[in-house]
Amino acid sequence: MPSPTETSIRGSIAICGLGVTPMGKIYDRDARDFAAEAIQLALADAGLVKTDLDGLLINAGIGPAGAINLQLQNQLGLHDLRLLNHMNAQGATAASMVQYAALAVHHGMANYVACVFADAPLREGRGAGAAYGGAGAGRGGPTGIASLTSAYGFFGANTGYALAARRYMDLYGVTSDQLGAVAVAQRQWAMMNPHATKRSPITIDDYHNSRWIVEPLHLLDCCLVTNGAVAVIVTSAERAQAAASDPAYIWGMGQGHPGNDRRAGRDPYTSSGATLSKRTAFAMAGVDNDDVDVCELYDCYTYTVLRTIEDYGFCEKGEAGSFVADGRTKPGGSFPLNTGGGQLSSFYMWGMTPLAEGVEQARGGAGDRQVDKHDIVLVSGNGGTLDTHATLVLGAQPN
């Protein structure tokens, strides 16, 4: 096991509160309303009141009406905050918010920092695909050189990840059955999660029979679109030990942002920022891969899961397909992965989805899906098409 770096804050900071609102096709509420509820739930979970908060970090989704911004402070009636920001590194933001909150608490800038994501992109009578900029959302889009990809039919995140998945499959011989194994295993976890919006069992045949989105991606390869919010509260380990719920301790954290400028000589689809992010986080935590008990990996697509397993070094390049196909990521398997069902089957709150489940597992509060050995939990966040990445290593104990 590596030694923690001299600058480590390992175990001195913790997540002491978690709030998860109802999720799914909830049309009569906006993101501000969801955010307020998530923060209140997190406060109640920690045994705090809103006047205890002196920090607020905000991550808004894409829903235009009622999106959260810095005015959330006033809407919540929070006074005299010592830390406030509105952040967006896409799916890497949740873990990044926690990291900045941890640094602020560690250096005395704040005592209790709420980190919240809220979104309400779903609209009654409109398809989920329209919410995230697919072709069905309209073709106004960018102009000038920025419109070049659209001119060739490239619309939305689905297309970018379909290209990445196709290249990955061609390079390493990964099959659709192996992609489907990710979806089937995560649905089995979701069936035990009361927060999950998809709890009916699926088979590999159901996966293959689900409609194409952009080949090689089926509907069941793609994450959900969800209205809702998640919040966590970050504080010192000492304060967290007096909280109403067991804390999840922050052992390590890191970021890795390879970028994707689509210039010659770059090949962004064959790797992610997980490798760089892991290096920092694992060194701070003083752990290696064999120490990790549970993985909560960002899963906007089944392909992303396979890519991230490899980039964290749990198997070699091109081996993740066979790694998941043997059932080791299912409930009862040797590699507990996305134990709440993830974004594929539970709910899509960007990086807050893996973070929320990671907190639950680390503190032993995940109910029927709780993994017996949960001393070290790995949480990842991914943004863009593998463009940004953030890592948290959570511990059940402070050290």
CA angle 187–395–281, rounded 5-degree value: 90
Catalytic residue selected from 298, 301, 303, 312: 298
3-state secondary structure the chain: CCCCCCCCCCCCEEEEEEEECCCECCCCCCHHHHHHHHHHHHHHHHCCCHHHCCEEEEEECCCCCCCCCCCHHHHHCCCCCCEEEECCECECHHHHHHHHHHHHHHCCCCCCEEEEEEECCCCCCCCHHHHCCCHHHCCCCCCHHHHHHHHCCCCHHHHHHHHHHHHHHHHHCCCHHHHHHHHHHHHHHHCCCCCCCCCCCCCHHHHHHCCEEECCEEHHHECCCCEEEEEEEEEEHHHHCCCCCCCEEEEEEEECCCCCCCCCCCCHHHCCCHHHHHHHHHHHHCCCHHHCCEEECCCCEHHHHHHHHHHCCCCCCCCHHHHHHCCCCCCCCCCCECCCCHHHHCCCECEHHHHHHHHHHHCCCCHHHCCCCCCEEEEEEEECCCCEEEEEEEECCCC
152 in active site: no
The whole-angstrom separation of Cα 372 and Cα 96 is 28
Q: Compute the CA torsion angle 339, 344, 349, 354 (nearest 10 deg).
A: 30
Residues catalogued as catalytic? 298, 348
